[in-house]
Structure 1
């Protein structure tokens, strides 16, 4: 990538064609990070992104790339970093059509390689390329992605990097390929907490230090009983150790909480007492329905230029579109109403006490080998009760934190490898900096590492 003009909103990017003209050619110009003048300013960030002004958007689908034109503008989150002096090095891969795609599902574009472990683990999706690039190259400081229902958090865990998902209304979503507007947001990957914080302060003005201190509150950490079964025994030992550190170092009151049991006891009027029954099919009526219609123009344009033929998308997207297409306007409205009822209730249960700074700890997924040469069935129907849906339903900020590693015997390397264990800490809406500060306190006082390494292991 190279800019045609200076770092402004008018900056147009073009491909650096050193190794060839194909978008798959690996030629990256890395600018020096040495300061140009004697100042105390930090080195300029080197960042990877998904799209920029002047570049065609592919979302890793040949038909979509064929129909797209060079982007007329650069997303504001990228512009903010460029204005701060960041260098955009290049574009990253992602899962096809911004959906879940495992390596064996890929048809149009090969999935990015996850550098951790034996080198043949799934990078997860959809922002797989962003996380994998950061885990592989130490000359890259951060990478941008998106997160709808885990598209940033799953790759962060799989590839072993930090990830932050900001409060939904805190940053502009201009330039983001939509799937479900209520859940869609940007995310950022980094190998250190410091870089993560630097990017967030570029996007969101931090509160004045004096005001932040005057509004400090006691801490509460909610331990979710509903989802910890997702984690295995070795994984739970590391997560429990982090919980203990948070309890001691913040300090925080640790509270066990079950969404299912609490709903049964305090569900809103005119709702059934079974939360899974209440939320049944809500995802299909809302998320899948909007995902299908977000690509209406693309399908119409492609069909018009190809004698009525539909564009090719991977089978998982075909099935998800098919589910969403059958939903009527009335069903969409009813699904949205139920989702909002659940959102209001959940927010009150978790963050209703304004005198306490509350965080919820969740697992991202079960830590285990996920080989890229194995067919991995993606879920055909996701419940709105899924732990990955909690932050987007609340519109809350969350951070994916490295906890450690657990050993496994690899069928690829025939050696012991060490997949990373991560925890997902969720903060209240509009409390991005309070969440970051709490993590900083826990890591600083406990002596935990706030930097992960590139290569096979996160802690060298």
Structure 2
């Protein structure tokens, strides 16, 4: 253990700078602004590119440190709604969010036990896999760090199914979409992001390695055709999942974490008053304090339905493959994935994590005070909503000209690879195989992803 690394306050999603307009303004009026700048600690530095990029938030210190210092073999973070995955992507690292429950965390301070898990940042799959297996080892008496034969046998005898998540054809073009471009928008004249070629190269090599062909999937459309049928699930995917995370997370944080902390803080020093909480996080916690027991109950019901859909329809585990700590829903309910899968087929889902696009740390995020949460469907909910593993894999770099330094620099491109809940050993074995085959590469520290970069 070397030391404690910085995270955002209460592990909440915070930008280095953030402002919001306090009240509706007449035309041409000068706005009155409040600033939230992570006042207690300076935001860690993302070393990639020009050195002026945001490191993402929550486990930002763990990610930026692993990408900066060669004497740190790995770092540890936590992931509630994306706090390992997004920092890993923009800092160019392997980021492991394991299956929920795979790593014992009962002694850790958590924001919300329905979502929280501990995970690892590393610069190689070998380190990421070794550390993750050791951390999972105390929670699974049948797992042995050196028992690689089990994983390799599973890799040889099981078949894989590769789900390639694409944008809906009606969505407007974006430089950082949630999913890969839909085939209907790809043509010789298309102005696709530069990262698209890096993604395509990786997917093609992954198909060859697994002896499969990708199956394109529009998750919004797939939800609409396969979702459970009670009246409560009549909404589209974005609408149905919209308030599950805010209600459960900030309801739990406010009641179970912040309020007890404030009471202890005040008891420790009479007359101290309230501790400082960043403005955006404070507003979210105030929302959480107002969430009723009935709203929490409804959110838990919605979460259970959504988790069941991911674990039994989208990413069902083979009946014989569940970990000792993982109840196999698929064995109970006979679920199936897109196109129907057999008992030996392991579905994998891949989506883009980082597009190599600049996000300068001096850019101020402007947020309407009434809009405390991110709108639309969160791709991170596939993992935090179902408990399945989501591993971030750095693939390459995109060149850009820095607005700050005026020089050319490079930013990471990364994907996320998901597997059924409880399939961490197989997924760890797969990413190790991909590195051995040269499809994935160990990354370096500093501004460039690879040590041999020119």
TM-score range, shorter chain: 0.7 to 0.9
Give the 3-state SS of the residue equivalent to 1:406 in structure 2. Answer: strand
Local SS of the residue matching 2:106: coil
* TM superposition score normalised by structure 2: 0.77
1:69-218 alignment, distance < 5 Å: 88-104=1-17, 105-205=37-137, 206=143, 208-215=147-154, 216-218=157-159
**Partner in structure 2 of residue 14 of structure 1:** none
Across the two proteins, how many residue pairs are aligned to each other? 372
Match of 1:224 in 2: 165
Residue in structure 1 matched with residue 201 of structure 2 by the alignment:
241
Q: In 2, distance between residues paired with 1:124 and 1:219?
A: 32
Classify the secondary structure of the residue corresponding to 2:206: helix
Match of 2:254 in 1: 292
Aligned residue number for residue 288 of structure 2? 324
Which position in structure 2 is the counterpart of 1:41? none
Q: CA deviation at 1:229?
A: 3.0
Counterparts of 1:409-428 in structure 2, within 5 Å, are: 409-428=401-420
After superposition, what is the alpha-carbon deviation per residue over 1:247-288, rounded to whole angstroms, capped at 9, x for unaligned?
Answer: 111223311112221222222121215233333422232122
Matched, 1:442 2:434: yes
1:377 Cα deviation from its structure 2 partner: 4.2
Query: How does 1:20-39 map onto structure 2 within 5 Å?
Result: none
Looking at structure 2, the residues matched to 224 and 444 of structure 1 have their Cα atoms a distance apart, in angstroms, of 26
Aligned-residue CA RMSD (Å): 2.1
Moved more, 362-371 or 291-300: 362-371
2:448 — aligned with what?
457
Kindly state the Cα deviation for residue 202 of structure 1 after the two structures are TM-superposed.
1.2
Give the corresponding residue for 1:399.
391
- Cα distance change of structure 1 residues 406 and 197 upon mapping to structure 2, 3 Å threshold: same
Per-residue displacement from partner, 1:118-177 (whole Å, max 9, x unpaired)?
Answer: 112111111111111111111111111111111111111122111111111111113322
Q: Is the 8 A contact 2:151 2:425 kept in 1?
A: no
CA spacing shift, 1:148–1:350, aligned 2, 3 Å: same
The 10-residue stretch of structure 1 (305-314 or 343-352) with the greater mean CA deviation from structure 2: 305-314
Question: Is the contact between residue 396 and residue 412 of structure 2 (CA under 8 Å) also seen in structure 1?
Answer: yes
SS in 1 for 2:214: strand
SS in 1 for 2:446: coil
Paired residues of 1:281 and 1:383 also in contact (CA < 8 A): no
What is the aligned partner in structure 2 of residue 375 from structure 1?
364
Shift in CA distance, 428/377, structure 1 to aligned 2, threshold 3 Å? farther
Distance (whole Å) between structure 2 residues aligned to residue 374 and residue 280 of structure 1: 27
Q: Distance in 1 between matches of 2:365 and 2:217?
A: 31
Provide the C-alpha distance between the structure 2 equivalents of 1:362 and 1:147, rounded to a whole number of angstroms: 18
In structure 1, the residue matched to 2:215 is 255
Could you list the per-position Cα deviations for residues 13-36 of structure 1 after superposition, in whole angstroms to 9, with x for gaps in the alignment? Answer: xxxxxxxxxxxxxxxxxxxxxxxx
Higher relative contact order (CA 8 A, sep 6+): 2
> Separation in 2 of the partners of 1:376 and 1:306?
37
Tell me by how many angstroms 1:422 deviates: 0.6
- Flag structure 2 segments of 5+ consecutive residues without an equivalent: 18-36, 138-142, 169-175, 180-191, 317-340
CA–CA distance in structure 2, aligned partners of residues 260 and 321 of structure 1: 30
Superposition TM-score, scaled by structure 1 size? 0.76
Cα distance between partner residues in 2 of 1:287 and 1:226: 27
Query: What residue number does 1:362 align with?
Result: 351
- Structure 1 residues 388, 280: CA separation in 2 closer, same or farther (over 3 Å shift)? closer
Q: Deviations over 1:75-132 (max 9, x none)?
A: xxxxxxxxxxxxx112111111211122222101111111111112111111111111
Distance 1:217 1:448 in 2: 20
Give the deviation of 1:222 after TM superposition.
Answer: 0.8
